[in-house]
Amino acid sequence: MTDMRWSGWGADADRMTLSDQVLGLLRQGLGVTPEAMRSVSVDEVELPDSALSSAAAEAFGAVVGADQVRTDRDARLLHVGGRSTVDLWRRRAGDASDAPDAVVLPGSHDEVLGVLRVASEHGVAVVPFGGGTSVVGGVEPDRGGFGSVVALDLRRLDGLVEVDEVSMTARLEPGLRGPDAERLLAEHGLTLGHFPQSFEYASIGGFAATRSAGQASSGYGRFDDSVVAMRVATPAGSLDLGRAPASAAGPDLRQLFLGSEGALGVITEVTVRVRPAPAEVRDETWAFTDFAAGADAVRRLAQSGSLATVTRLSDEAETAVNLAMGRDAGTPSPANGGCLLIIGHEGTPSQVASARAATTEVLTAVGGRSLGADASHGWRTGRYQGPYLRDALLDAGAQVETLETATSWSRLDRLYAAVRDAITASLTAAGTPPLVLCHLSHAYPTGASLYFTVVAKAADDPIAQWTAAKHAAGHAIAAEGGTITHHHAVGLDHRDWMEAEIGTLGLAVLRSVKETLDPAGILNPGKLLPPPD
Strands 369-372 and 280-288, bridge-based pairing: antiparallel
Length of the chain in terms of residues written: 533
Q: CA 316, 317, 321, 324 torsion: positive or negative?
A: positive
Query: How far is residue 237's CA from residue 115's CA, in Å, rounded to a whole number?
Result: 12
Burial 440-453 (b: 16+ CB within 10 A, else e): bbbbbeebbbbbbb
Report which DSSP code applies to 251. Answer: S
Ramachandran class of 170: left when φ > 0, alpha when ψ lies in -120 to 50, beta otherwise: beta
Query: How far is residue 74's CA from residue 60's CA, in Å, rounded to a whole number?
Result: 19
Q: CA 66, 67, 68, 72 torsion: positive or negative?
A: positive
Ramachandran class of 437: left when φ > 0, alpha when ψ lies in -120 to 50, beta otherwise: beta
Q: How many CA atoms lie within 13 A of 309 on its CB side?
A: 25
Q: Which of 384, 388, 416, 451 is catalytic?
A: 451
Q: Interhelix angle for 54-64 vs 109-122, to 10°?
A: 170
Q: Is 307 exposed, middle or buried (0-12, 13-18, 19+ CB in 10 A)?
A: buried
Query: How far is residue 492's CA from residue 484's CA, in Å, rounded to a whole number?
Result: 12
Strands 169-172 and 266-273, bridge-based pairing: antiparallel
Strands 102-104 and 148-153, bridge-based pairing: parallel
Quick check: 343 and 283 in contact, CB under 8 A? yes
Indicate if 451 belongs to the active site.
yes
Residues classed as catalytic? 451
